[in-house]
């Protein structure tokens, strides 16, 4: 550590040249020559220290992101990485403070006296050494992150695995829709299914950035596949209504039985939610045990009407199809209502069992956005984006603080994490779009 008075007054600087290829120490050529050499040497070592500071700041930013990512696995290794990072950051902060002090106390100016320049040379050399030591410590931390980060990446690859086949299904659906449109065989239902598939795929991509997102990614990929298949089926139906409508009626009745069979599980899930969680955590799905059966009953009535239409000549396939589609919509709503309590119970059980992992994943996504903003916009980032990310960080802090309550609102906690991750992803997209525009 540099002493309070930097270099002592009795300590002389033996040579001024620094850096590779510098010539030997200049001989005595009078005060002017000595001062010029001292000034050049001081500028050089001060510049080296500034470069070392930039390297340290870059290494610190990267090490923070790498540790956050590698530590997603948790355990002792994660604790060791965070401790080492904190030590390296403290060393870097100390060296940065010393450089700021040197710049204030020992400025390298044209009018600076030779003795002060000589003191500055020694001071900046010492600061540079400390900065390089901090840089080495930060790089060591980053290197230690490689193995755990590789394991995390492998697990994330497994989380992302359903995305590729879902993307393939979505591409095929879009291709078929374009071909059908050219033949005039596209209706509103086709575009609705395509829109749902696109939305589900985007949501799946957002969920695929956390280790805890595997179930959600798989579910959303299933939604994409289901909607894509539904779109293809719809196009085929439009080509062959007379033959297909009776089959659709049979499928609707089968679907009715499936949804109806899920109703007991819905009632069971609601019962468990009422016993184990605060009412606010599932208030929006509370009435599923009433709405889902009512929708199932309504769908059954529509399917019965469609059966009568098909049995009465002249057969109106369009009217029967409309009734079947209405029944399908009723069943979709009934299924969503029936699944609501089941999915909510699973989500609350998962987040209450391991809130730390989900919180760490949200923080990692936020830091990715912060790092991306600095990489794209440098030292003068958009103040609105900075404020937006700071607000997200505050939301995470409040969410973490809420865990100390006697009965945490787990649904609010989970919803906050999901919202922060999604908004951080949107910031990255907006910054990328702005950079491409410029």
Measured in degrees and rounded to the nearest 5, phi and psi for residue 350 equal: -70, -45
d(CA 399, CA 406): 14
Query: What pLDDT does 223 receive?
Result: 93
Angle at which helix 30-70 crosses helix 75-105, to 10 degrees, equals 160
Query: What pLDDT does 438 receive?
Result: 63
- Are 13 and 118 in contact by the 8 Å Cβ rule? The answer is yes
Query: What pLDDT does 29 receive?
Result: 52
Low-confidence ranges of the chain (pLDDT < 70): 1-29, 438
- Are 137 and 88 in contact by the 8 Å Cβ rule? The answer is yes
pTM: 0.42
Residue with tokens 């958009």: 382
pLDDT tens, residue by residue, 14-72: 445 544 444 444 544 577 888 888 888 888 988 888 898 898 888 888 888 888 878 77
d(CA 405, CA 355): 14
Neighbours of 195 (CB within 10 A): 12
Q: Which segments of 196-276 are extended strands (E)?
A: none
d(CA 133, CA 130): 5
Beta-carbon contacts of 22 under 8 Å, excluding residues fewer than 6 positions away, are none
Query: What pLDDT does 431 receive?
Result: 87
What mean pLDDT is reported for the chain? 86
Q: Which residues of 36-54 are buried (b: 16+ CB within 10 A; e: fewer)?
A: bbbbbbbbbbbebbbebbe
d(CA 143, CA 146): 6
- Are 162 and 218 in contact by the 8 Å Cβ rule? The answer is yes
d(CA 37, CA 373): 42
**DSSP, res 283:** G
- Are 52 and 132 in contact by the 8 Å Cβ rule? The answer is yes
d(CA 25, CA 248): 94
Instruction: With CA atoms as reference, report the closest residue to 241 among 319, 332, 331, 327.
Output: 319
- Are 6 and 105 in contact by the 8 Å Cβ rule? The answer is yes
Angle at which helix 214-239 crosses helix 241-276, to 10 degrees, equals 160
What tokens does 295 get? 């929708």
CA 44 from chain center: how many Å?
42
Instruction: With CA atoms as reference, report the closest residue to 84 among 137, 129, 149.
Output: 137
pLDDT tens, residue by residue, 352-367: 889 999 899 999 999 9
Kindly list the distances between the CA atom of residue 329 and the CA atoms of 147, 255, 336, in Å, as whole numbers in the listed order.
Answer: 49, 11, 11
Query: What pLDDT does 433 receive?
Result: 86
Query: What pLDDT does 395 receive?
Result: 93
Beta-carbon contacts of 196 under 8 Å, excluding residues fewer than 6 positions away, are 223, 227
For the CA atoms of 171, 173, 177, 180, the dihedral, rounded to the nearest 10 degrees, stands at: 120
If phi > 0 it is left, if psi is from -120 to 50 it is alpha, else beta; for residue 25 that is beta
Query: What pLDDT does 270 receive?
Result: 93
């Amino acid at each position: 550590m540099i002493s309070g008075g930097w270099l002592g007054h009795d300590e002389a600087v033996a040579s001024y040249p620094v850096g590779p290829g510098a010539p030997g120490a200049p001989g005595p050529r009078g005060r002017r020559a000595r001062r010029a050499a001292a000034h050049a040497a001081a500028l050089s070592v001060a510049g080296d220290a500034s470069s070392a500071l930039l390297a340290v700041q870059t290494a610190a930013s990267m090490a923070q992101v790498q540790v956050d990512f590698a530590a997603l696995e948790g355990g002792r290794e994660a604790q060791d990485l965070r401790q080492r990072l904190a030590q390296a950051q403290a060393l870097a902060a100390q060296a940065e403070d010393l450089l700021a002090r040197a710049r204030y106390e020992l400025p390298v100016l044209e009018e600076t006296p030779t003795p002060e320049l000589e003191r500055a040379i020694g001071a900046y050399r010492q600061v540079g050494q400390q900065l390089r030591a901090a840089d080495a410590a930060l790089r060591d931390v980053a290197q230690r992150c490689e193995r755990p980060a590789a394991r995390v990446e492998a697990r994330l690859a497994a989380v992302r695995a359903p995305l590729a086949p879902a993307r393939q299904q979505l591409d095929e659906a879009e291709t078929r829709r374009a071909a059908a449109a050219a033949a005039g065989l596209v209706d509103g239902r086709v575009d609705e299914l395509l829109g749902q598939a696109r939305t589900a795929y985007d949501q799946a991509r957002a969920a695929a950035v956390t280790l805890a997102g595997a179930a959600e990614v798989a579910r959303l990929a299933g939604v994409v596949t289901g909607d894509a298949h539904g779109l293809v089926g719809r196009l085929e139906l439009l080509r062959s209504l007379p033959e297909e409508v009776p089959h659709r009626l049979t499928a609707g009745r089968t679907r009715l039985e499936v949804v109806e069979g899920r109703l007991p599980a819905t009632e069971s899930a609601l019962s468990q939610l009422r016993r184990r969680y605060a009412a606010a955590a599932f208030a929006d799905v509370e009435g599923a045990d009433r709405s889902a059966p009512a929708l199932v009953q309504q769908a059954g009535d529509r399917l019965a009407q469609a059966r009568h239409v098909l049995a009465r000549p002249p057969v109106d396939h369009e009217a029967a199809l409309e009734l079947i589609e209405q029944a399908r919509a009723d069943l979709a709503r009934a299924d969503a209502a029936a699944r609501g309590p089941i999915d909510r119970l699973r989500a609350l059980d998962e987040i209450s069992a391991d809130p730390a992992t989900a919180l760490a994943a949200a923080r990692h996504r936020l830091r990715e956005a912060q790092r991306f903003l600095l990489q794209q916009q440098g030292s003068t980032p958009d103040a609105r984006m900075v404020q937006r990310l700071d607000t997200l960080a505050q939301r995470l802090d409040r969410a973490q603080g809420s865990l100390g309550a006697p009965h945490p609102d787990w649904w609010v906690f989970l919803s906050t994490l999901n919202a922060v991750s999604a908004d951080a992803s949107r910031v990255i997209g907006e910054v990328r779009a702005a950079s491409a525009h410029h």
